[in-house]
């Protein structure tokens, strides 16, 4: 049986309202909140195996990487986005729940932005 590194992410994330599980065009698993990206498995070759990509404010991301570099990191590819990379084997369930809570809030806020008209 193949191990699914996203299983715990999916189990925690789907407990929140307005969160759905889906897959990207390449078949990789993602969670969306209000239709916007919330979390998914990192697919860029710059990321390590079993890495989660999750929405995160840039200031919070810097603190997380500084405080726990064994768990959180960033590559040049992902640096331009409000995201942090999370080594799934190293993150606790409580920390994962907190990350997903924050990410869900950011995704819902993005989804609620009014359309810009010319």
Tens digits of per-residue pLDDT, 45-103?
999 999 999 999 999 999 999 999 999 999 999 999 999 999 999 999 999 999 999 99
Q: What are phi and psi of 73, to 5 degrees?
A: -160, 180
pLDDT digits (tens, 9 = 90+) for 10-28: 999 999 999 999 999 999 9
**Residue 12, SS3 per DSSP:** helix
C-alpha distances (whole Å) from 79 to each of 4, 105, 109 are 26, 20, 21
Residues ≥6 apart with Cβ < 8 Å to 87: 48, 50, 51, 70, 71, 72, 73
- This model's pTM is above 0.85: yes
Cβ of 9: how many Cβ atoms within 10 Å?
26
Q: What are phi and psi of 114, to 5 degrees?
A: -70, 150
């Amino acid at each position: 049986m193949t191990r699914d590194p996203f299983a715990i992410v999916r189990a925690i994330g789907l407990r929140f309202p307005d969160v759905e599980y889906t897959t990207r065009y390449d078949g990789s698993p993602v969670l969306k909140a209000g239709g916007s990206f919330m979390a998914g498995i990192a697919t860029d070759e710059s990321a390590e195996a079993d890495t989660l990509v999750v929405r995160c404010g840039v200031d919070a991301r810097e603190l997380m990487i500084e405080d726990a570099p064994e768990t959180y990191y960033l590559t040049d590819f992902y640096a331009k986005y409000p995201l942090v990379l999370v080594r799934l084997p190293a993150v606790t369930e409580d920390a994962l729940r907190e990350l997903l809570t924050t990410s869900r809030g950011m995704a819902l806020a993005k989804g609620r932005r009014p359309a810009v008209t010319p």
